[in-house]
């Protein structure tokens, strides 16, 4: 599945380079109109990142998210600063299909396991932001400022026991850089966990990048900056990688 993505700050669509709020590009686009456009073009899921919420959970853009969910003809996946069980419940109550949970589940695996057990694997996407250290994919937290002691494989093994299904994996070095995805990393992960819906995120800049991901049997990929900057269109992407 190809998933269009919108990053949101103060109601505006933006993109950051490697998660840096000081390297922000603002796109003068209406988020509601953009969500409707992607849905009309064939999106089966749209990925929203609430960057205000990521920076300060009290600043979560709940009103905007509610409006986007109500306006969207297709399901919404959203994340950004999800810290608690209540945060997840609140977003699901708004009609969000899947809530993306990252640092909170990594720092507190019991919470992650509880979310998967109580809300079900279809309601939760585990987000793992990866930094390669001596070739090992380690998981970063706290807005990518810290690296945990756990590798991607450690966490996937742990959460798979609770029925984990959807995993968003971002190579920090690639995010927002438009330099191509880390296909070697994704190939290694999908080989170890072929049943998981591994969602590639970061660096996709061309249709050739999509062909490369498809060739290693990736199940899903997020398309953000590449669509917003016109590197290719969503219909062009779907022609190569139909939603299934």
Q: Is 134 a catalytic residue?
A: no
How many Cβ atoms from other residues are within 10 Å of residue 7's Cβ? 23
Q: Is 129 a catalytic residue?
A: yes
Whole-number pLDDT of residue 81: 87
Whole-number pLDDT of residue 143: 52
Average pLDDT along the chain, 244 residues, taken 10 residues at a time:
96 81 84 97 97 91 97 96 95 98 92 97 95 83 64 94 95 66 92 95 93 95 94 97 87
Pick the closest to residue 144 from 127, 126, 129 (CA basis): 129
Give the separation between CA 27 and CA 35, rounded to whole angstroms.
Answer: 14
Whole-number pLDDT of residue 162: 93
Whole-number pLDDT of residue 175: 54
Domain boundaries of the chain, sorted by first residue: 2-240
Check 7, 52, 171, 209 and give the catalytic one.
Answer: 7
Whole-number pLDDT of residue 190: 94
Topology adopted by domain 2-240: TIM Barrel (3.20.20)
Check 50, 129, 171, 175 and give the catalytic one.
Answer: 129
Q: What does pTM read for this prediction? A: 0.92
């Amino acid at each position: 599945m190809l998933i269009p993505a919108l990053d949101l700050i103060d109601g505006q669509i933006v993109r950051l380079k490697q998660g840096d709020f000081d390297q922000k590009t603002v796109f003068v686009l209406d988020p509601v109109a953009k969500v409707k456009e992607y849905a009309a073009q064939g999106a089966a899921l749209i990925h929203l990142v609430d960057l205000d919420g990521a920076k300060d959970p009290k600043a979560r853009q709940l009103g905007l998210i509610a409006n986007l969910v109500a306006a969207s003809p297709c399901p919404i996946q959203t994340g950004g600063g999800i810290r608690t069980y209540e945060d997840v419940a609140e977003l699901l109550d708004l009609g969000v299909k899947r809530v993306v949970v990252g640092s909170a589940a990594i720092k507190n695996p019991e919470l992650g396991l509880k979310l998967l057990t109580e809300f079900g694997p279809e309601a939760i996407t585990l987000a793992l932001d990866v930094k390669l250290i001596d070739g090992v994919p380690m998981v970063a937290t706290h807005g990518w400022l810290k690296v945990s002691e756990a590798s991607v494989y450690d966490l996937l093994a742990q959460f798979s026991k609770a029925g984990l299904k959807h995993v968003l994996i971002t190579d920090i070095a690639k995010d927002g850089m438009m330099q191509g995805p880390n296909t070697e990393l994704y190939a290694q992960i999908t080989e170890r966990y072929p049943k998981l819906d591994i969602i590639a995120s970061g660096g996709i800049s061309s249709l050739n990048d999509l062909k490369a991901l498809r060739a290693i049997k990736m199940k899903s990929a997020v398309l953000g900056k590449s669509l917003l900057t016109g590197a290719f269109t969503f219909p062009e992407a779907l022609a190569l990688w139909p939603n299934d």
